[in-house]
Amino acid sequence: MNLILLGPPGAGKGTQAKILEQAHGFKQLSTGDMLRAAREAGTEIGLKAKAIMDRGDLVSDDVVLAIVAERLKKPDVAKGVVFDGFPRTPAQAESLDKMLKASGSKLDAVIEMKVNDEALVKRITGRYTCAKCGAGYHDEFAKPNKVGICDKCGGNEFTRRPDDNEKTVRDRLQVYNKQTAPLVEYYRGQGNLHVIDGMADIGQVTAAMEAVLAQLKA
Ligand code: ADP
Ligand code: AMP
């Protein structure tokens, strides 16, 4: 099954994509994570993307589409993909439709996660990640069981993204509203759109996702 989690920065896409990956064997495909990996590796693409990402703008469609096309060639996507943070523009959405069609696959659902702006700012400014395994946490809403120790891998080093500050988050929200929000109507037109309340707590959001999946299987 191929799903898109559509929502502004901080909506909970990555959190839910990881849960769906564990529960169903889908692969989380986060273009943000892939671009950050390219930065870490110091590739040409990564270096070019750095300044754009730090100010909260979108990396060009060409670059992002090339990364996704390459990723979709790997065999581990056979059970399905949860797209997280992709597509972000109408051109990316149209190209994804074509890529899936060309590989004899299709999109099964787009789940729009609705969260209000002030909650998004709170979520993003409190977000941090285990440096070793990438598990996500929040200062207030998703603390590890033991302070300073990752629940998943026992790691004790954590990182915060340079773009997870209030100023950049507000810029990223504007970019989302202008460039990505039009995808809601695009997918509604395709009959693929499911809207869920992303303001609920993490477990309730997962339950709403599972209800969509059950509906698709029925
Ligand atoms: P996105 O991938 O959409 O940018 P994340 O999944 O990284 O968002 O979530 C942003 C932050 O909010 C993380 O620190 C995460 O732990 C926290 N979070 C995610 N879902 C919820 C929720 N339903 N309620 C409260 N906090 C949440
Ligand atoms: P994210 O991890 O999804 O919050 O993305 C972090 C940053 O990576 C964004 O602010 C963009 O600069 C860039 N990015 C991630 N995905 C895309 C995409 N699909 N299209 C363009 N830029 C992207």
Mean pLDDT of all residues in 49-67 = 96
For ligand 2, say whether the CB of 53 is within 6 Å of any of its atoms: yes
User: Distance from the CA of 217 to the center of ligand 2, in angstroms?
Assistant: 31
Q: What does the chain come to in residues? A: 218
| Cα–Cα nearest to 198, from 2, 3, 13 | 13
In what side-by-side order are the strands of the sheet with 158-159? 136-138, 127-130, 158-159
Q: CA 170, CA 138: separation in Å to the nearest integer?
A: 19
User: Tokens 């629940």 appear where?
Assistant: 151
Residue 96 has pLDDT above 90, yes or no: yes
Residue 218 has pLDDT above 90, yes or no: no
For ligand 1, say whether the CB of 127 is within 6 Å of any of its atoms: yes
Residue 68 has pLDDT above 90, yes or no: yes
User: Distance from the CA of 103 to the center of ligand 1, in angstroms?
Assistant: 32
For ligand 1, say whether the CB of 199 is within 6 Å of any of its atoms: no
User: Distance from the CA of 95 to the center of ligand 2, in angstroms?
Assistant: 17
What pLDDT score does 55 carry?
A: 93
Residue 150 has pLDDT above 90, yes or no: yes
What pLDDT score does 175 carry?
A: 98
Positions annotated as catalytic residues are 13, 88, 127, 161, 172
User: What integer best gives the mean pLDDT of the chain?
Assistant: 96
For ligand 2, say whether the CB of 14 is within 6 Å of any of its atoms: no
Helix (H, G, I), strand (E, B) or coil at 193: strand
Q: Looking at per-residue confidence, does 184 or 218 come out higher?
A: 184
What pLDDT score does 152 carry?
A: 97
pTM for the predicted model, two decimal places: 0.97
Nearest ligand 2 atom, CA 175 = 10
Residue 95 has pLDDT above 90, yes or no: yes
Mean pLDDT of all residues in 159-181 = 96
Measuring from atom 5 of ligand 1, which residue has the nearest CA?
Answer: 12
User: Distance from the CA of 46 to the center of ligand 2, in angstroms?
Assistant: 12
Q: Say if residues 3 and 111 touch (Cβ distance below 8 Å).
A: yes
**Residue 145 burial (CB count, 10 A):** 7
Q: What is the percentage of the chain residues whose pLDDT exceeds 90?
A: 97
For ligand 2, say whether the CB of 35 is within 6 Å of any of its atoms: yes
